[in-house]
Homo-oligomer: A and B are copies of this chain.
Amino acid sequence: MDTRQLKTLLAIQSHGTFAQAADLVGLTPSAVSQQVHALEEELRVTIFDRSTRPPRITPEGVQVIEMASDILRRAEDTKASLRGDQIAGTLMLGSVRSSALNLLPRAMVQMRGRYPDLKPSLRVSLSSTLIADVAGGRLDAAIVAEHLGIPNTLRWSPFLREPLWVIVPRGMEASDPIELLNTRPYIRFRSAVPLANLIDTELSRLGVVTNDVAEIDTIGSIVTGVRQGLGISVVPHVALQEPEDLNIMRLAFGAPQVTRQIGIVERTAAPRAEIIALLHAVLADLCGDYGVVRPTRS
Contacts and interface: CB of A to CB of B under 8 A. Distances in A.
Interface of A: 1-3, 43-45, 59-60, 63-64, 66-67, 70-71, 74-75, 77-79, 81-83, 90, 93, 97, 101, 104-105, 108-109, 112-113, 116, 119-124, 171, 214, 216-218, 221, 224-225, 227-230, 244
A1 B122 contact: no
Contacts of A78: 43, 63-64, 66-67
29 contacts: A1-B3, A1-B75, A2-B2, A45-B82, A59-B112, A59-B116, A63-B78, A63-B82, A63-B112, A64-B78, A67-B75, A71-B71, A71-B74, A90-B229, A93-B228, A97-B216, A105-B224, A105-B244, A108-B228, A109-B244, A119-B171, A119-B229, A120-B228, A121-B228, A122-B224, A122-B229, A122-B230, A123-B214, A123-B230
Contact of A2 (B3, B43, B93): B3
A225 B101 CA distance: 10
A239 to B, nearest CB: 13
Given A43-B82, A74-B74, A119-B228, 9 more contacts: A1-B75, A2-B2, A44-B83, A64-B78, A71-B74, A71-B75, A90-B229, A97-B216, A121-B230
A121 B221 contact: no
Contacts of A108: 228
A208 to B, nearest CB: 23
Contacts of A218: 218
A118 B230 CA distance: 15
Q: Looking at chain A's contact residues, is the secondary structure mostly helix, strand, loop, or mixed?
A: helix
Nearest to A108: B228
B44 A82 contact: yes
A176 to B, nearest CB: 24
A15 B45 CA distance: 33
A93 B218 CA distance: 19
A93 B224 CA distance: 13
A101 B71 contact: no
B2 A221 contact: no
Which 7 residue pairs are nearest across A and B when measured between Cβ atoms?
A2-B2, A122-B228, A67-B78, A59-B116, A1-B3, A121-B229, A105-B224
